[in-house]
Structure 1
Amino acid sequence: MDSCKEEESNRQKCVFVEGPIIVGAGPSGLAVSACLKESGVPSLILERSDCIASLWQQKTYDRLKLHLPKQFCELPLFGYPENFPKYPSKHQFISYLEGYARHFGIEPKFHQVVQKAEFEFGFWRVKTQECDYVSRWLIVATGENAEPVIPEIPGIERFHGPVVHTSGYRSGSGFKNQRVLVVGCGNSGMEVSLDLSRHNASPHMVVRNSVHVLPREMFGVSTFGVAMSLLKWLPLGVVDKFLLLMANFTLGNTDRLGLRRPKTGPIELKNATGKTPVLDVGALSQIKSGKIKVMEGVREITNNGARFLDGQEKEFDSIVLATGYKSNVPSWLKGSDFFTEEGMPRTPFPNNWKGENGLYTVGFTRRGLLGTATDSAKIASDIADQWIGGQITTAGVQSIAMAGEIERAKKEQRKEKGDIWGYFRRT
């Protein structure tokens, strides 16, 4: 009798989802859910944290603003409030996303950590710590920035002071009068260094590779907007040369500051590798004044500082890792070769939004929210064409049930317990 109770407790509850399962409640997950709803298709969002847009709400610094004007950062079917500034703040963007979710009645299931997703017997089975969700369609919306990248720097484990990734950095107020080593010179590294300098800290920013620095605006017009307009009429290479010409005119020769430009143009490099050019919001003037020091690559971290590739050695009180984020898709999506080992679709843009067997991706275009909006519309249209009244057929339920019986029989033969398909209910 006790063994029967134990077996029952090991059975994982199984929930059949009529529409697609969306993994991730960030901007991409919200956008595709809204587009599906407008097409008459329900969906279920599974989110590991306790809120929407957890990256924005829980892992961004206070001074963060959108790097692009708001018209380039809208989600589909719902614009920003008219009173929002040209470059909304972090908190304004979060309020926009919360309003977006309310407007479309999007209610993700929170605290659902996806442990495994796999295509079995004609359906996607998504396993969380609570139950198994089953659907004909799976939409990966966890994005390019799911997990912090923590580099292996020799000696960092023996550093006596705090070491924090930018995902845990909020403000420079806690670093007042400190010498801070900032590892990374992308948009985050530049802005954190700027924030530190404005709180009377002494940031030393490590430039490990070449980097494009562009003005956020050219003569009062968004640099990104200028680029997008020119690309409608001119080849990409010509637009890149124009951007670099204007950058040198407005910012000067950044090579002299220790910020070497890549040989590949900024837009071409972004499209090929995802490496975003830095849009300067004030850090460059602080570098020119000497308030932000530019350092070459780190050779090793010491007990109280760092040794650099150029032979210099300096003492520091704290280290901030502005080393970016990465996709986590390979850790939970199994049995599919649609993604690379780095967690990005193998198929290049603009055809990277659809895989096989009802697998879709949104937020992996390396083109920000503009790419998200485009992919969300494509996905919703494609699934809507397959949608038949939103009903589960008897044959469909029997197919899943049969899959469970087969799996259970195999496990019993191996004298294993658990992972048995349970009961089905609609959601």
Structure 2
Amino acid sequence: MKSELRSVLVPGPLIVGAGPSGLATAACLKEKGVPSLILERENCIASLWKLKMYDRLNVHLPRKFCELPHMKLPPEFPAFPTRLQYISYLDAYAKHFSIEPMFGEEVRQAKYDSTTGFWTVQILRYKFFCRWLIVATGENAEPLLPEIPGISNFQGGYLHSSLYKNGADFKGERILVIGCGNSGMEISLDLCNNGAQPFVVVRDKLHILPREILGRSTFGLSMFLLKWLPLRIVDRFLVLSSWLILGDIQQFGLRRPEIGPLELKKTTGKTPVLDVGTSAKIKTGQIKVVPGIRRITDRGAEFVNGGAAEFDSVILATGYRSTVPSWLKEEEFFNKHNGYPKTQFPNCWKGKNGLYSVGFTKLGLAGASIDAKRVAEDIAWQWKSDTRQMHFEYHMATRIDPRQQAP
């Protein structure tokens, strides 16, 4: 017999996603006296960091750009904290603000009812009603697995980068890495350092920048220069600095786009690669650059330039995608094709009818923190402007706390 969904009125905002974006939003709301409820489909906070990241990962941006609101990173952490260090920070952050999500609860549907003025958010056992819905599932909710001709016939092993941990299991193998973003380049370096022979597919032009320039982080220096100089001038400085520090990398199959790295990021969202040692391995031939793939064969790959090679394994460093269109029944604020807000930063955080987004700025953790503060301020103003109604809703909602219900 089909069990009936239990209805629960949420006193404050309902947040979908317990990654850094959801945690930052909940903390900012709590600082303003607004309660919230977080739904998380995995069984832990920050599941991307804990379950889907490779071991050697360090945060790509300096520590000050990775701090969440109202709590700094420990002073003993290095300029670019490791994955495990950042996970420990997120755990401490959740504990400090007493953030307790409902784990293992995937949202099946969320839609707005104009007659009641409430959002209805449905999970397996409950149907929640809330005045504010905050989408904090982020840009990297689910691995992106593109259709590659012939991949199903490949006799070796292949996996998405979300399942890759380290290169120890690939020692002595020839590995084809499909994807030349930061993940693809770092995984290639990790494979090389563990005795494998990586071949990285570079289909399009890309910018590779040093992680630091003149002793300062490239990102931090760029943000400083943009306060005083036009974007095109800063772009020229970055390209020149990259050439002086990394040398001429075009002869190794790494062609630069005509448009500068910051302008490219602004117009297309494509992030430049921050070099952590991969370019040096490419110059020495320890990491091979190959062109785009025409098709995968049973033992290797054929390339668009007519060449072919055999490989033991294929790693798909092809990124992630948003899953918002699969459950959010709304088409005005979020794009149903890519799952991003239709408006760009800095105006991508607020929709209509109490709908918000955090973590879709294409500016990483720094962008998520900016949005979290804006969302909290906006909701807190509404919360305090109608005290009588809020007290009634809070009284009704706290009669049932689904986090304390037995399965």
**TM-score, normalisation: structure 2:** 0.94
Q: Which residue of 1 aligns with 2:146?
A: 151
CA contact (8 A) 1:25 1:141 kept: yes
CA 199–394 in structure 1, closer or farther in 2 if over 3 Å, else same: closer
Distance change >3 Å, CA 22–CA 390, structure 1 → 2: farther
2:101 to 108, 112, 127: 108
Task: Kindly indicate whether residue 254 of structure 2 is the aligned counterpart of residue 230 of structure 1.
Answer: no
CA contact (8 A) 2:210 2:245 kept: yes
Q: Structure 2 CA distance, aligned partners of 1:390 and 1:69?
A: 44
Deviation of the 1:349 alpha carbon: 1.1
For 1:196, give the aligned amino acid.
Answer: L
Alignment-derived partner of residue 400 in structure 2: 425
Give ranges in structure 2 of 5+ residues lacking alignment.
403-407
Measure how far apart 1:273 and its partner are: 1.9
Which structure has the larger Rg? 1
How far did 1:219 drift? 2.3
Alignment pair present for 1:24 and 2:17: yes
Residue 268 of structure 1 pairs with residue 263 of structure 2:
yes
Specify the alignment match of 1:88 in structure 2: 81
Is 1:252 paired with 2:247?
yes
| Residues in 2 aligned to 1:214 and 1:60: alpha-carbon distance in whole angstroms | 22
- Structure 2: how far apart are the matches of 1:238 and 1:338? 34
1:372 maps to 2:372:
no
The residue that corresponds to 1:381 in the other structure is 377
Kindly state the Cα deviation for residue 392 of structure 1 after the two structures are TM-superposed: 4.8
Residue correspondence of structure 1 range 394-405 to structure 2 within 5 A: none
| Partner in structure 1 of residue 405 of structure 2 | none
Q: Residue 18 of structure 1 contacts residue 391 of structure 1 at CA under 8 Å; is this kept in 2?
A: no
- Contact 1:19–1:390 under 8 Å retained in 2: no
Question: Quick one: which of 319, 324, 333 aligns to 2:328?
Answer: 333
Question: Could you tell me whether the CA contact under 8 Å between 2:10 and 2:394 is conserved in 1?
Answer: no
Structure 1 runs not aligned, ≥5 long: 1-5, 401-423
Name 2:293's counterpart in structure 1: 298
Paired with 2:311 and 2:46, the residues of 1 have a C-alpha distance of 34
- Asked if 1:165 is matched to 2:176, the reply is no
> Equivalents in 2 of 1:50, 1:10: separation in Å?
23
Deviations 1:291-328 (A, max 9, x none): 00000001111111011111111010000000011111
- Is residue 295–residue 302 contact of structure 2 (8 Å, CA) maintained in 1? yes
Give the distance between the partners of 1:312 and 1:189, measured in 2 at CA.
21
Give the 3-state SS of the residue equivalent to 2:376 in structure 1.
Answer: helix
Structure 2 residue matching 1:10: 3-state secondary structure: coil
**Matched residue pairs, number?**
397
Q: Does the 8 Å CA contact 1:18/1:426 hold for their aligned counterparts? A: no
* TM-score normalized by the length of structure 1: 0.90
> Does the CA-based 8 Å contact 2:301-2:309 persist in structure 1?
yes
- Residue identity over aligned pairs, in percent, reads 56
Q: Equivalent residue of 1:291, what SS?
A: coil
Give the match for residue 3 of structure 1. none
Report the residue type matching 1:22 in the other structure.
Answer: I
Aligned CA distance change for structure 1 residues 347 and 128 (closer, same or farther; 3 Å)? same
The SS at the match of 1:154 is coil
Deviating more after overlay: 345-354 vs 252-261: 252-261
Matched with 1:342 is 338
Check 1:395–1:156 CA distance in 2 against 1; reply closer, same or farther (3 A cut).
closer
Q: Does 2:347 correspond to 1:351?
A: yes
Over aligned residue pairs, what C-alpha RMSD do you find? 1.9
1:45 counterpart = 2:38: yes
Q: Is the 8 A contact 2:11 2:393 kept in 1?
A: no
* 1:16 CA displacement: 0.8
